[in-house]
Structure 1
């Protein structure tokens, strides 16, 4: 099974009805250049925890995570480059619209799921971090949180698909992967997914990690 291909296909399907054509082509360009780590990580988590999970469902959830991330990432690029000040204003306008569409479609895919509030929190983190970025002593550290947040959300989203909850051992793995993979740019899936299925399987099978109980994904 190719988790990346499934996540990419669901993303492509999710933007297939966007109009006008110029905007859809811009979104297709975002997809083409994207590291599909968030979407693929969602799929591999879900299928590891439940081998019978429907791939279309897991991939759609992964696409929602990926679209939300790509929209915020594109917004960050615009904030940093500020094309409206001496740059290509038309290009900036198109990318701003694309960012808004991606975030909105991502929210649509993740609404009424166990990670909906996780994404809301990530947007709040993003807005606060970018507001204070210029005066912060370590702006790169602030920017890094976007990637870390969405690696964590991806794992939680996969667990939510498979289990309708996020057991504490999976949250621990999510935190570990967020620390390891949460860099800009995100690592490609070939690197990011290495050993992840085994880590998830080990986490849920470990008495030491499962003894602490579970935490609902809705909190």
Structure 2
């Protein structure tokens, strides 16, 4: 999908100067495997509100032109019985016709700017998503380090399945522990960079405050989740708290796109964000599952997502 590809390229450009190379490669790998649903929704929202603005402006212009023509050619009332034809018709210039130009018509003159804002949304999401994965797996904890089982096999939790060391080989185990910790350190640094670059791209936009609220809500939700995760009776609540990230990011995408077009988000666009959030949970499908290149307004499309987790956005920390 061209829109998704453009958004991914804009995100790549925003992190092109990340160093050292190993960290840069990690950041790019996160973006390379990511679903571009948030970024594409921002772009689609900008296009949708612009189309609505243009339609309203054109309808208003047509009405004004019609009123003007009626005034020029309409009948006059007064003491006489004849009709009075408006003067100036013969000399009417085409330039006198009312048209919608300039600020009366919504346009996306700064396409690159809108794309940059969409990339900002995408970067913030990828950084928070990676942070969520790290918080759940806790790669620095002792439980993430493999131990020797009764049959001598290496046993590990989550990420440590790839740990090279075993208790039978202490030196290898130490080296593996260091490597695991180093990778985890790089991943949390990558997450910080992604969020920071996303904020930089949205700085001085009307969506910046929404981005701040998104990050703050994420922190509160993950704190609450930590308190619930060991209680099986409220495990569904923990899952809902995780899914709040996707819901909040989709709202951020809509508001970012709309404000990029100098318009408030419409109820229709916000309902599209809710519809997607209800379907995807904590993993976005490929952007093509929700959007296409048909040019139809997203609020007018019928979405069908039978397998919302197919080809989901993968994290560098996914097992």
TM-score bracket for the superposition, by shorter chain length: 0.7 to 0.9
Match of 1:160 in 2: 259
Runs (4+) off by over 3 Å? 167-181, 194-197, 199-202
How far apart, CA to CA, are the structure 1 residues paired with 2:37 and 2:133? 19
Native 8 Å contact 2:8 2:36 kept in 1: yes
Q: Equivalent residue of 1:23, what SS? A: helix
Q: Post-superposition shift, 1:165?
A: 2.9
**Structure (1 or 2) with the greater helix fraction:** 1
Match of 2:196 among 104, 112, 115: 104
Aligned to 1:66: 122
- Offset from partner CA, 1:173-216 (integer Å, 9 cap, x none): 434443344x22112101122599524369xxxxxxxxxxxxxx
Q: Residues 28, 48 of structure 1: CA spacing in aligned structure 2 closer, same or farther, 3 A cutoff?
A: same
Structure 2 CA distance for partners of 1:197 and 1:145, relative to 1, 3 Å: farther
Q: Note the 1:3-82 alignment, pairs <5 A.
A: 3-50=3-50, 52-53=107-108, 54-82=110-138
For the residues of structure 2 that align with 1:57 and 1:201, how far apart are their CA atoms?
Answer: 26
Secondary structure (helix, strand or coil) at the match of 1:89 reads: helix
> In structure 2, what is the Cα distance between the partners aligned to 1:197 and 1:147?
24
Q: Which has the larger radius of gyration?
A: 2
Structure 2: state its 5+ residue gaps: 52-106, 146-159, 161-179, 229-233, 302-319
State the TM-score, normalized to the length of structure 1.
0.83
TM-score w.r.t. the length of structure 2 is 0.58
* Number of residues of Structure 1 aligned to a counterpart in Structure 2: 201
CA deviations on 1:96-146 (whole Å, 9 max, x unpaired) are 000000111101011111211111111111111111213331211110000
Q: Which range moved further: 170-179 or 21-30?
A: 170-179
Residue 124 of structure 1 pairs with residue 222 of structure 2: no
